[in-house]
Amino acid sequence: MSDLGHVLVLAGGLSYEREVSLRSGRRVSEVLRATGIDVETRDTDASLVPSVLADPPDAVFVTLHGGAGEDGAIRSVLELLNVPYVGADPDACRVAFDKPTAKAVVRSVGLRTPASVTLPKETFHDLGATVVLGRIVERLGLPLFVKPARGGSALGASFVPTAEELPAAMVGCFAYGDTALIERYVEGVEVAVSVVDLGSGPVALPAVEIVPDEGVYDYAARYTAGHTEFFAPARLSAAAAAACAETAVTAHTALGLRDISRTDLIVDADGVPHFLEVNVAPGMTETSLLPMAAEAAGEDLGELCRTLLQNAASRSATS
């Protein structure tokens, strides 16, 4: 592995998830400094490129969530600058960040994912919301789950138990994106499975079970301490836990991801995992799921992040 001089942690950005990203960046910077690494934390503003050109870091850890942090844009710029970074390349990010596309990819390799329909806002305007929403309910049934086709942190996402609540859910969704993903709701245990590749291939960390106080894992439940109960490892049978791990690694591989990812699943009453979405820049805050999974696996978060950075630097040196 390469020795690291100084590394750059990117946090902030201009997406709706800016505040979460800043918290993730602070956490990663803290745990890396605890391992003795010289860490610089920067936002993605006009000073970033000149700064990197003047003093190139050995590697970059991207903790940008949503928008440019996960759609491949910032990573494309890092590649233009010949700076190595932790995580998936731009092409893989573009596929994974678009939830309907990611669902299609994992379905093609045999993973289960809830039945769904993806429609842009213009469709409802042009064809009439009432008739289209009525057909969605007839086809997918109730309850439903509505979320923006791109984005994260449950912003714009809604659980829809009745047809009467669907129009409001669509309005909330379109406040965060122009395209909605409407899924059949699968009853079961909600888990998140983080995948890391420290040099020997992708490995799933223990699944983390998510039990929100209010029943829905929304933005407040995700980032407000005490609003959600977590179990790491998840309270699953050995067979279900193994199926979740296999599903997450399969999704990571099928989507062409690299280094690190987090797959969100619902485990039904039969112990079968259903793929919901994948995150190429998992949250790293005090209430985030990957750090919980790492602790459950007996991994030190700082050493894990350090190894990922060393691998990225080594990958650049040999390319």
Chain-centroid distance, C-alpha 142? 26
122 labeled part of a ligand binding site: no
Largest CA distance in the chain: 61
Nearest to 222, CA basis, from 261, 244, 192, 195: 192
Check 17, 70, 183, 190 and give the catalytic one: 17
Check 29, 116, 194, 288 and give the catalytic one: 288
Asked if residue 233 has a cis previous peptide bond (ω within 30° of 0), the answer is yes
Tokens for 84, please give them: 């190595």
Distance separating alpha carbons of residues 311 and 1, to the nearest angstrom: 6
Check 24, 153, 194, 261 and give the catalytic one: 153
Distance separating alpha carbons of residues 12 and 41, to the nearest angstrom: 10
Q: Quick check: 313 and 59 in contact, CB under 8 A?
A: yes
Distance separating alpha carbons of residues 240 and 301, to the nearest angstrom: 26
288 is annotated as an active-site residue = yes
Q: Quick check: 132 and 125 in contact, CB under 8 A?
A: no
17 is annotated as an active-site residue = yes
Q: Quick check: 79 and 128 in contact, CB under 8 A?
A: no
264 labeled part of a ligand binding site: yes
Residue position matching structure tokens 């990611």: 102
277 labeled part of a ligand binding site: yes
- CA angle in degrees (0–180, nearest 5) for 198-222-312: 20
Strands (E), the chain: 6-10, 38-42, 59-62, 116-120, 144-148, 158-160, 179-184, 189-196, 203-204, 208-212, 228-231, 260-267, 273-279
Which residues, 6+ apart, have CB-to-CB distance to 292 below 8 Å?
Answer: 208, 230, 232
Catalytic residues: 17, 153, 288
List the binding residues for Mg(2+): 264, 277, 279
List the binding residues: 264, 277, 279
